[in-house]
Amino acid sequence: MLDIDKNHFITNFLLEKLYIMIINKNVLYSVFGNPINHSLSPLIHNFFSEYSGIHYDYNAKLIEIDSFEKCISIFFQNKYAKGANITAPFKNKAYFLSDHLTDRAFIAGSVNTFKKNKNNIIIGDNTDGVGILYDLKRLNYLEKKKISKILILGAGGAAKGIIPVLLQDGHNVFVYNRTIKKTKEIYKNLNMLGNLCILNNFDDKKLLFDCIINTTSCIFDPIFEYFPYNLFSINTVFYDICYNLNCDTSFLVWCKKRGALNCSDGLGMLISQAAYSFLLWFNCLIHIDDLINYVFKKILQKNYNF
């Protein structure tokens, strides 16, 4: 009886997988950004397809800053276009293009994932927060049952997606950005979720952070030149949401020069948030740890240069 049940389960699983492969044979997905030539998203989603057996086309599209709305509209007019990822600098604009928002996208005020449903409704989601939270815990940068003091550098679309999830996980979150107007907007929209504090400067000598997350541009930001040493210790962990396959990002170079022992780029976050996009599109979540190891291995084998 057990063997029959097992075989029945395997047969149904394979039939369902075959059905998914057939119906998704011609569907289209893309990532939109500017710049976009560095993006690993097409590579990652090709791995997802290979790993899961769900076949779909995924490519990167470079679009001009002032033509985002038009390009998205044209893309989704294609009956085979079913979803998209949105990267810098369009996450805030994507929020306002959505016909419907998931709860986490609504709270964040930014969107990094679109899904077109069977009624041609464009659903906006934000998987940045769940992606980085998963990776921070995978790296043991956030300990279980411990409230961490976290500093977020930057106040753009990525920061807006990350901050709510960290607050809801119980952490104390501080935000610093050179443009104070943006940090005030974040505080106004998100302070009810938890302990959120806005820093206008680094003058408070009592601040000592457990985790510092950079969400600013991959290009070295002048913020770091004025960053005092008293804000971190040998136990502080550093995380850059940017990534560079060939060398450390500018932020991580800066961290290591100042004695940081625990630091990571955002490749794990990229893979994790992509997995949650995959879940939205196909109602299927691949085991993320296996997926991260799988993608890292593939990247090393291919020796990609960016």
Q: Residue 87, annotated ligand binder?
A: yes
Q: Residue 93, annotated ligand binder?
A: no
Q: Are 38 and 246 in contact (CB under 8 A)?
A: no
Q: Residue 39, annotated ligand binder?
A: yes
DSSP code, position 193: G
Active site residues: 91
Element of type H or E holding 278: helix 267-282
Q: Residue 154, annotated ligand binder?
A: yes
Q: Residue 265, annotated ligand binder?
A: no
Q: What is the per-residue DSSP string for 205-271?
A: TT---SEEEE-S-SSPPGGGGG--GGG--TT-EEEES---SSS--HHHHHHHHTT-SEEE-SHHHHH
Dihedral angle at the C-alpha atoms of 120, 129, 34, 89, nearest 10 degrees? 90
Q: Residue 81, annotated ligand binder?
A: no
State how far the Cα of 90 lies from the Cα of 73, in Å rounded to an integer.
14
Q: Residue 241, annotated ligand binder?
A: yes
Q: Residue 178, annotated ligand binder?
A: yes
Q: Residue 61, annotated ligand binder?
A: no
* Secondary structure of residue 32 in the 3-state scheme: strand
Q: Are 165 and 159 in contact (CB under 8 A)?
A: no
Q: Residue 182, annotated ligand binder?
A: yes
DSSP code, position 199: E
Q: Residue 132, annotated ligand binder?
A: no
Q: Are 29 and 56 in contact (CB under 8 A)?
A: yes
DSSP code, position 173: E
Q: Residue 77, annotated ligand binder?
A: no
Q: Residue 84, annotated ligand binder?
A: no
Q: Residues annotated in the binding site for NADP(+), as ranges?
A: 103, 154-158, 177-182, 241, 266
Annotated binding residues, as ranges?
39-41, 87, 103, 112, 128, 154-158, 177-182, 241, 243, 266, 273
Binding residues for shikimate: 39-41, 87, 112, 128, 243, 273
